[in-house]
Amino acid sequence: MNASSKLQVGLKDLDNITKSSLNYFFSSGLCPNARLCKTNKEAELLILDHSPNITKNFLESLESDNKYAIILHAPTEEFTDGTGENRLFGLAKPIQQNDLKKVIDKIFKLVKPVEKSLATVTTLRIKQGSTNQSLNVTPNSYGNSNSALSPNNSNNQASADLESRHRFKLRKYIGSNEDVDLNDPTNLKQIYITPEKYLYHYLSKAIKVAKLSKSDVVITTVAGRVLYELSSQSFYCFDWSKLKHAQANPVFNDTKLAQVAPNSDLVKTAALNATEIVWEAALLASKGRLPVGASLNNEIEIIYWPDLSKLTVFEHVDQIIATWALNPISISATTTQLKIPQRYVFALFCAMHAISSVSVESGESVVEDSPKPSKKSVFSKLFGKIVPPHN
């Protein structure tokens, strides 16, 4: 669907967290029938909070400008859909992705009755000899690798291949661990990893060191060297072919960090976005597990909302982050409240923690091979493996 044929949406008088949630919702393709427009003047649909501002003048302006509005209201507030000459639609907080999509699809059909909604099933005709067969394709929020294909003919191998690739992608990033009883200490070793054994830990650490020391940082690993350049906030991998295959394995114990002067004579390769590389490496290491020291029972604090449109995401990501942002709860409570497998929550936390977009107080959940607590200062811990700057 072209941008011009999508429902143009504007956000009006919303708090920052709600606005960030909706920005992600529309930018990530979760709602194929609508897109955010640059100004509310261009909008065909406005999303705003229920407030005294919804006056007679506001309703009249909707009518004269041929706009619709979704009103976000508290669960205790009564709201009747289709009020204001059928131009107002209510949506109770906290916003649920599926509920929002349903309302938008309903409004889309009112605004663009001629357009065929992407949320509906599209039928493709496949000719085989003289026989026409139908293949139903349902668009999916997470890209082509997750699209749900429903062939009418069991001989269609494409569906099986696609499903296989989807399962591989999930296992690659979130693993296949079954849920465990988090109150049983004997299960903890199954759900924790030691970050110091994985590449992502040193990538993340290099960024922090560079900021503090105002210098670039070279990471020397068993699989090659990596340069972090502070000015461009990018990584340069001198042997990425080896590193990309090794980053999911716990083989980085002897990794060292060294400061180097900016604009040093080191030969650079193609730049890799720091946030994207750290996020990807953390997911590959996590495979649905938590970094040692992350408390299962302390509340999670969102430090900033990552730009998920540029990162590897998977099912439930937006739902989990929105829950943490709107109503901070613990990791353990997240899995219970949302009724989703633990590995999704654990993997997302590990990736967000690696890029410093989320934090949680350290807990007592420690596995046997985890590092012993240190009495060093925070500054000393951060520079624990730093060797003197190169001359």
**pLDDT tens by residue, 8-64:** 999 988 888 888 888 888 887 778 889 999 888 899 999 988 766 677 778 778 888
Q: Which helix (H) or strand (E) holds 147?
A: none
Give mean pLDDT, residues 190-204: 95
For residue 237, what pLDDT is reported? 79
Question: Domain 3-111, CATH 3.10.129.10 — does that match?
Answer: no
Residue spans of the domains in the chain: they are 3-111, 122-174, 195-387
Task: For residue 19, give the DSSP letter.
Answer: H
Q: Where are the beta strands (DSSP E) in the chain?
A: 7-12, 34-36, 45-49, 68-73, 88-92, 122-128, 131-138, 148-151, 192-193, 216-221, 224-229, 234-237, 256-260, 271-273, 290-291, 301-302, 358-359, 386-387
For residue 390, what pLDDT is reported? 40
- What proportion of the chain, given as a percentage, has pLDDT over 70? 71
334 Cβ contact list (under 8 Å, min separation 6): 300, 320, 323, 324, 345
The predicted-structure confidence for 215-269, as pLDDT tens digits, reads as follows 999 999 988 889 999 999 999 977 777 787 788 889 899 999 999 877 666 666 7
Considering the chain, what is the average pLDDT of its residues? 76
In the structure encoding, which two tokens stand for residue 359, read together?
């934090």
pLDDT above 50: residue 320: yes
